Amino acid sequence: MPENPFPETAPTTPARPLRLGVAGPVGVGKSSLIATVCRALAAELEIGVITNDIYTDEDARFLRSAGVLEPERIRAVETGACPHTAIRDDVTANLLAAEDLAADFAPLDVVIIESGGDNLTATFSPALVDAQIFVLDVAGGGDVARKGGPGIGRADLLVVNKTDLAPHVGVDVEQMVADASAAREGRAVIALSRTDEDSVAALRGWLLDVLASYRSGAHVAQDPGPMAPHFHADEDGVGVLHSHADGDHAHAHDHDDAVAR
């Protein structure tokens, strides 16, 4: 083939794997969803996983024991007291882990990054992930989807998880999905249960579509926006109210307002 005289106009094939974030509060089923995705796609995609735990590598160990990937393909980043910082404000540790995985297991198709998940509004920086899933579960209540927040409103995909539990917790899944869709102005919503094959197929199809769009150069990483101000303990066990407004990269904890525990 003759050399392209206009290389800058040539379609660009991304040189690195798609990075996919999975965020949402503790217990909504993020690790289980990642295990489900790995199971559904392991035969056709090369996948690596990074977990973000506060003090442990619990999520990484769960995923290794699920046996869905070679254990070495699952890496843990320990984030300290403020896990959302590592996915939004200072993403260095996660970027290094993603690059190491991509180098060690080249060529990878997808690196999935699970957030530490302590907060309803934590979102990934578009500097870290190309696309992100926000996960809610029906057991958290049918009205959560209506309450909004950056992840619920603007993540690339919202998953309403554990739909098999809906009859037991009195939640109307269709209504919850309709509320979520309204809050998201048409962005994708999937009602998922790991025991419902059709819903797993929908999730699988969504990821393959995003991957195809990423590879074609058409996909643009979106920023759902900064998380809401929130309150939690810092490294010294002192309660602090703080925000992650864009530009707040110093992530200063205002100890004047600190509340001793």
Please give the full DSSP string across 42-80, using - where no structure is assigned: TTT--EEEEEEESSS-HHHHHHHHHTSS-GGGEEEEE-T
Which of 53-61, 141-149, 169-177, 241-249 is the region at the interface with Mg ion (rule: CB under 5 A)?
53-61
Report how far residue 167's alpha carbon sits from residue 173's, in angstroms, rounded to the nearest whole number. 9
Which of 92-100, 161-169, 213-221, 234-242 is the region at the interface with ligand GDP (rule: CB under 6 A)?
161-169
125 binds, among ligand GDP, Mg ion, none (CB under 5 to 8 A by kind): none
Query: Contact 51/75 with Cβ under 8 angstroms?
Result: yes
Q: Is 244 among the residues that bind ligand GDP (CB under 6 A)? A: no
Question: Minimum Å distance from CB 37 to ligand GDP?
Answer: 12
Task: Spell out, one character per residue from 27 to 46, where the chain touches ligand GDP: x when CB under 6 A holds, - when not.
Answer: xxxxxx--------------
Nearer to ligand GDP, 61 or 215 (CB): 61
Q: Is 64 among the residues that bind Mg ion (CB under 5 A)? A: no
Q: Is 71 among the residues that bind ligand GDP (CB under 6 A)? A: no
Which of 26-34, 76-84, 104-112, 167-175 is the region at the interface with Mg ion (rule: CB under 5 A)?
26-34
Angle, alpha carbons 125-257-123 (nearest 5°): 15
Query: Contact 120/232 with Cβ under 8 angstroms?
Result: no
205 binds, among Mg ion, ligand GDP, none (CB under 5 to 8 A by kind): none
Q: Which amino acid is at 16?
A: R
Number of Cβ within a 10 Å radius of residue 70: 12
Query: Contact 126/224 with Cβ under 8 angstroms?
Result: no
Helix, strand, coil percentages in the chain from 3-state DSSP, rounded to 5: 35, 20, 45
Q: Is 30 among the residues that bind Mg ion (CB under 5 A)? A: yes
The residues binding ligand GDP (CB under 6 A) are 24, 26-32, 59, 117, 161-162, 164-165, 193-194
Binding site for Mg ion (CB under 5 A): 30-31, 59
